[in-house]
Amino acid sequence: MDKQPPASVDEYISAFPEEVQKKLREMRAVVRTAVPEAEEKISYQMPAYFWKGVLVYFGGFKDHISFFPTGSGISAFEKELTEYKTSKGTIQLPLDQPLPVELITRITRFRMEENQKKGK
């Protein structure tokens, strides 16, 4: 039988081991502080934030936290992301390193500004 998707971000986070939960709670706090007006929900079975469209997603894994700021969020900060494993729309943040809070904040706000411009 298939596992039910999480109904809330709290439920999503609670499904992980404590070490991962700490990082996920920290990531959640960073995103919510960066854009307090963002709507938080579960989308694609992971935490998602919306403000005039998609802002960012994040997810927990065994050895890392993935931050999904869309392709534009990656390309705009490409030079600052060289120490992380990235793909077209994902940044992998190792569990054994501190979260780059300032960088996550700037990327999330960049995405907010993009959405603001699209909405005009």
Tell me the percentage of the chain whose pLDDT exceeds 70. Answer: 98
In a domain? residue 36: yes
Give the CATH number, domain containing residue 13: 3.90.1150.200
The interaxial angle of helices 18-34 and 101-119, nearest 10 deg, is 40
Number of domains within the chain: 1
In a domain? residue 1: no
In a domain? residue 117: no
Question: Is residue 1's pLDDT more than 50?
Answer: no
In whole angstroms, give the CA distance from residue 109 to residue 6: 26
pLDDT, one tens digit per residue, over 9-62 is 999 999 999 999 999 999 999 999 999 999 999 999 999 999 999 999 999 998
In a domain? residue 115: no
Range of the domain at 70: 9-110
Tell me the percentage of the chain whose pLDDT exceeds 90. Answer: 91
Q: Using pLDDT thresholds of 50, 70 and 90, give the confidence band for residue 2.
A: low
pLDDT at res. 119: 73
In a domain? residue 42: yes
